[in-house]
Amino acid sequence: MSKLETERLSLRPFRRTDAPAFTRLAGDWAVASMTSDIPFPFVESQAAGWLEPARGEVRFAIEREGRLIGGVGYYRRASGVAELGFWLGRAWWGRGYATEAAEAVVRRGLRDRSLPGFSSAHFIDNPASGRVLAKLGFEPTGRGLIACEARGCDVEVVTYRLDRKRASIVMPALATEPASRPRWRAWLSLFGAS
């Protein structure tokens, strides 16, 4: 899995040495309780196992200035659609980092022509994740229940989808633009001036 660069972030594969920072960031109740698969309390031995992606998963560590601040990735469902997930340590909320990282990962994923699109969901008490998905062009498709390991129960979610056709409209240079290409160059390429 290759590294992705955005305007402000580096996305790279997780490393075993990320376990202490990962435990501290993702083990915060405010973070873990908004994910489906991070338990609470969360200990370093659990983090070490979580850092190894399962077969078919694409997981990136999100770094800002060389420091781990979160994670983003997806896995392919049996339907072929990729399920997008992301999280940030609480200190980095509200700065647009989740949108920036998730956009890079969606762009990377859609380079695979066999991938028809992405799905995602957020707990109803986490509207910030809904705003990230909306900025990326995801459209709500319904509601459901998803198990939350930290809370120990099923939690109501809003479900979303971004198909390839819509992605090409909301991210016009999607078909050809590498995730690391600066936005201004992508914009210029729309006018044949890159």
- CB atoms < 10 A from the CB of 134, how many? 14
Backbone angles phi, psi at 13, to 5 degrees: -60, 145
DSSP string, 37-79: S--SS--HHHHHHHTSPPTTEEEEEEEETTEEEEEEEEEE-TT
Q: Give the domain CATH number at 43.
A: 3.40.630.30
Cβ–Cβ < 8 Å for 171, 158 = no
Domain count, the chain: 1
- CB atoms < 10 A from the CB of 168, how many? 14
Domain span at residue 146 reads 4-190
Tell me the pLDDT tens digit for each residue of 141-185. 999 999 999 999 999 999 999 998 888 888 765 544 444 444 444
Contacts for 28 with CB less than 8 Å, ≥ 6 apart: 89, 90
The pTM (predicted TM-score) of the whole model is: 0.85
